[in-house]
Amino acid sequence: MKIGFTGTRNGMLSMQRKKFDIDLDMVQEHSLDPFANEFHHGDCVGADADGHDVADEHNFHIVIHPPVKNDLRAWKDGDEVREPNTYFARNRNIVNETDILYACPPTDEELKKGGTWYTINYARKVGKPVRIFWPYGRVTHE
């Protein structure tokens, strides 16, 4: 499975991270080939860095889609690194290259602005499944 990821630059809250960790563990446990599973993220501080660490603990093949601007970059080491791109183009590439989008938004309500919600809405627009790990432990799947 190829999982795309988007999340808040503030990082995951503890319940978000716990539910996310459990989910990635289940993906690996039920996979016919755990080494074929990929985790794609945008290499920014906060949730991207948190998600990278969890995916790395579960031995996912990690693909980094870095931004052209380095001010919020996390500089994580991945198995593959794509060419840097603008935030919105990079986020679309993450969605386009994966089977499902996992998202860790900053609040328990949908917002009209921000990169996380831009990416979620783009995935919805192109018909990609979205799994949202809300801040206080609720998980939804669209």
Class at the top of the CATH hierarchy for domain 2-141: alpha beta
Edge-to-edge strand ranges of the sheet holding 80-81: 80-81, 61-64, 38-41, 2-7, 100-104, 130-133, 139-141
In 59-112, which ranges are continuous DSSP H helix?
A: 87-96
Q: Give pLDDT tens digits for 124-142.
A: 999 999 999 999 999 999 9
Q: Give pLDDT tens digits for 50-84.
A: 999 999 999 999 999 999 999 999 999 999 999 99
pTM of the model: 0.96
Question: Which 3 state secondary structure label does DSSP give 125?
Answer: helix
Mean pLDDT for 19-34 is 93
Domain boundaries, the chain: 2-141
Residue scoring higher pLDDT (32 or 101) = 101
Question: Which 3 state secondary structure label does DSSP give 3?
Answer: strand
At residue 111, the pLDDT reads: 78
